């Protein structure tokens, strides 16, 4: 069953790249007492993710922070090495977006946002979505019907809701 507004996120651990190498990130620690935007993409370096979704959060980063968002993080079913390179290539890292790997799709599956598209080579990937999480609880959620579309889940759409 997919996560909904009002639900509390499950316990999860992501991996992000640091200067010292891969490091674990506890979702509950990250969201405790904070307002966090999580947006998910089907995969690093994929067309819509690179040309539309990540850029939308780069463009809206400052405005989201002005609305009281403490952190903006991109979640992808990729390893932290790929996400670090992609964050550098897109400018997401320089913009202050945290790149989080859900390498085994455990979080994505737990919240019911997983999908598989064998013709595109996408196995156990995340649907495209954006959400606002306040102290671990989902307060806003926007899920795209198709992985190749970035409208409802774009940074501008989320900003308009706040």
Domain map (residue ranges) of the chain: 13-161
- The share of the chain scoring above pLDDT 70, in percent, equals 96
- Per residue in 60-115, pLDDT (tens digit) is 999 999 999 999 999 999 999 999 999 999 999 999 999 999 999 999 999 999 97
pLDDT at position 158 = 97
Average pLDDT over residues 120-133: 85
- The share of the chain scoring above pLDDT 90, in percent, equals 88
Q: Cα–Cα distance between 88 and 62 in angstroms, integer? A: 18
The alpha carbon of 57 is separated from its chain's Cα centroid by a whole number of angstroms, namely: 10
pLDDT at position 121 = 65
| Catalytic residue IDs | 49
Decide: helix, strand or coil at residue 112. Answer: coil
User: Is the model's pLDDT at 135 over the cut of 80?
Assistant: yes
Using 50, 70 and 90 to split pLDDT, how confident is the model at 125? confident
pLDDT at position 124 = 80
Span 13-161 CATH architecture: 3-Layer(aba) Sandwich (3.40)
Kindly tell me the sign of the dihedral angle through the C-alpha atoms of 72, 78, 84, 85: negative
Longest dimension (CA), the chain: 41
Using 50, 70 and 90 to split pLDDT, how confident is the model at 131? very high
**Which residues does residue 36 pair with via DSSP β-bridges, in sequence order?**
71, 133
- Per residue in 23-44, pLDDT (tens digit) is 999 999 999 999 999 999 998 9
Q: Cα–Cα distance between 20 and 18 in angstroms, integer? A: 5
pLDDT at position 5 = 98
- Per residue in 47-61, pLDDT (tens digit) is 899 999 999 999 999
pLDDT at position 115 = 72
Q: How does strand 13-18 pair with strand 21-26?
A: antiparallel
């Amino acid at each position: 069953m997919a996560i909904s507004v009002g639900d509390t996120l499950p316990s999860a651990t992501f991996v992000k790249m640091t200067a010292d190498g891969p490091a674990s990130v506890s979702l509950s620690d990250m969201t405790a007492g904070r307002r966090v935007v999580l947006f998910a993409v089907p995969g690093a370096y994929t067309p819509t993710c690179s040309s539309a979704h990540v850029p939308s959060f780069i463009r809206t980063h400052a405005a989201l922070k002005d609305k009281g968002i403490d952190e903006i993080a991109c979640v992808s079913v990729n390893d932290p090495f790929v996400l670090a390179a992609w964050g550098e290539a897109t400018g997401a890292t320089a913009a202050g977006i945290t790149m989080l790997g859900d390498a085994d799709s455990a979080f994505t599956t737990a919240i019911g946002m997983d999908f598989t598209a064998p013709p595109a080579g996408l196995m156990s990937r995340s649907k495209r979505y954006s959400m606002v999480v306040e102290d671990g609880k989902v307060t806003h959620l926007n899920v795209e019907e198709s992985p190749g579309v970035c409208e409802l889940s774009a940074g501008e759409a989320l900003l308009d809701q706040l």
